[in-house]
Structure 1
Amino acid sequence: MEEKKLKLEDLLGETPATENKDQIEYVAIIGAGVMGQGIAQTIASSGLDVIIIEKDQKNLELAKEKIQNSMRYEIERWAMTESEMKSILSRIRWSLDLEEVAECDLIIEAIVENYQLKRILFKKLDEIANPETIFVSNTSTLSLTEIAEVTNRRDKIIGMHFLNPVPKVPLVELVKGMDTSDDTVLKSKKFARKIGKTAIEVYEYPGFVTTRAIVPLLNEAMHILLEGIASAKDIDIAMKLGYNFKMGPLELADSMGLDEVLTWMEQLWKKLGEPRYRPCPLLRKLVRERKLGKKSKEGFFKYDDDGNIIE
């Protein structure tokens, strides 16, 4: 009786033909703000190519300068080498043309937290991008399902809420909308691991975990300052020494951007109706005065060009 010869695939199993096709290798980021810059740096650091798309040339040039300054600061701290910085920057492209997303495997939206603007953007992207491309929103308070309604790929839309500063925070919240497929979730998890992030799955609900938990703390710290109970410096010292926080709540709010924090509070206050999310009047005052925190060099504290508090 002739003995059947074993083939390699009999031992290892068949390799899916779609494996390479499913790989995420080229990522687009829409929005060159603080979050967009951080996400781009993180992705490029992992060896993937990324393109940042912004609608305004001035904002694009400013973002280029900021991302380079951020990495140069890391070099000064011996946390990065010149060759690493050059390698990261070589993987980042910049553009004003939304049509560039056509060849991307994954698109991350990192624009302002505005429901209508996000829907308009997703509708445009849906017309341009490859049908298999996954759309990601970095929203922290808005409904992913409602944003996805304007597209023809609701199963390929997911939320990935990154935290600032993105290159240093090893966490991302993975938000599954009502129509998000299990395949999209799986691919997004693999992508998160690839860029060095631990992904936690959360239900689609205003604020998810991190924003909903941190906002009341920030708000209460602002009220303590408003009521004159302690200075901004002493409030932050109390939380850092008393509860082992790496950064006090007021400096944390400054680093997030006070306009962003105000938007989160207003969204949560509007959607949940709970007083703990009602923005402190002091926060509204600072935002009106365009004292937005580290990005404007003044908020609850004043900052130098490297983002360090000026005593």
Structure 2
Amino acid sequence: MLREVNQELVQAAERKLEVSLGTAVRKAKLSQTECDEIRGRIRFTDSMAEMADRDLVVEAVIESLPVKTEIFGQLGKIARPDALLATNTSSIPIMQVAAATERPERVVGLHFFNPAPVMPLVEIIACEVTSDETLRRAREFAADQLGKTTIRAKDRAGFVVNALLIPYLLSAIRMAEAGLASVEDIDQGMVGGCGHPMGPLALTDLIGLDTTMAVAESMYAETKERLYAPPALLMRKVEAGELGRKSGRGFFTYPKK
């Protein structure tokens, strides 16, 4: 069951799924029968009430604590008492989200990476009151049912991956801001010199400059470490609507689809 906030976005999600499955069939990664079976297992809605009978609900909205706590407040009243409530946050401490529910012991972090169908890793994060049963069920879901590689992380802003990744991305932005190298040469340096599949600025465009800034701000708010502070160049680009691939322009320019 996939819930979106209105029918327009529900229809967009359905179209996106159809395109994705159609591509998999054309590339012979799925048969038409498998495609039809997958499509038949997925339902779409714009009603939060449809979550009432779920075993597990995964929230994956924007990286905003007020938005997430509002949703978890609703889920705490709607979901079954034994349902797991998971957040896909990439940086916000899980305890801050769990505090919005009446059952914080059922709340856990399940952080998937973009694109989730392809990337093998899921970070599992327990807050101070997450129960052992919740952790066990969360790991069984991610590892046994989805076949993902799982790692455990402490409930600290950024967890494992972003605590290492975000300072790297921000350093590349500061280097471009200072004029020490062009954005093309910064990225080529990391691809050709370190064997990275993608340079840091292209990766920031893929993640979204607004998402990168929100994650950095969340980590800086908790740690006050300067290496997590968003550079001015990043803030100006977000203010200008240059958000990366999703807006067509970030550190690089992307052709319209």
TM-score category, normalised to shorter length: over 0.9
- Residue 191 of structure 1 corresponds to which residue in structure 2? 141
Distance 2:191 2:27 in 1: 22
Task: Find the structure with the greater CA-based Rg.
Answer: 1
- Residue 224 of structure 1 corresponds to which residue in structure 2? 175
- Residue 205 of structure 1 corresponds to which residue in structure 2? 156
CA offsets per residue over residues 44-69 of structure 1, 9 Å max, x none?
xxxxxxx1111122222233333433
CA offsets per residue over residues 183-231 of structure 1, 9 Å max, x none?
1111111101111211111110011011111001111111121222222
1:283 aligns with 2:234: yes
**Matched ranges for 1:1-311 at <5 A:** 51-74=1-24, 79-193=29-143, 194-304=145-255
Distance 1:275 1:255 in 2: 24
Instruction: Call closer, same or farther: CA 1:191–1:305 in 2, change over 3 Å.
Output: farther
Q: For residue 77 of structure 1, report the CA deviation from its aligned partner.
A: 5.2
CA offsets per residue over residues 244-283 of structure 1, 9 Å max, x none?
1111111111111111001011111221111111112221
CA offsets per residue over residues 125-148 of structure 1, 9 Å max, x none?
111111110100111222212221
> 1:197 is aligned with what amino acid?
K
Give identity over the alignment, percent. Answer: 34
Moved more, 259-268 or 139-148: 139-148
Q: Which runs of 5+ in 1 are unaligned?
A: 1-50, 307-311
> 2:12 is aligned with what amino acid?
L
Distance 1:85 1:294 in 2: 28
Distance 1:228 1:76 in 2: 44
Instruction: Call closer, same or farther: CA 1:223–1:71 in 2, change over 3 Å.
Output: farther
Distance 2:172 2:215 in 1: 16
Aligned partner of residue 110 in structure 2, secondary structure: strand
Q: For residue 163 of structure 1, report the CA deviation from its aligned partner.
A: 1.0
Moved more, 296-305 or 220-229: 296-305
> 1:135 is aligned with what amino acid?
L
Aligned partner of residue 135 in structure 1, secondary structure: strand
CA offsets per residue over residues 15-34 of structure 1, 9 Å max, x none?
xxxxxxxxxxxxxxxxxxxx
Aligned partner of residue 108 in structure 1, secondary structure: strand
Moved more, 54-63 or 73-82: 73-82
TM-score in terms of structure 1 length: 0.77
Q: For residue 71 of structure 1, report the CA deviation from its aligned partner.
A: 4.4
> 1:202 is aligned with what amino acid?
A
Moved more, 89-98 or 147-156: 147-156
Distance 1:176 1:65 in 2: 34
Q: For residue 167 of structure 1, report the CA deviation from its aligned partner.
A: 1.0
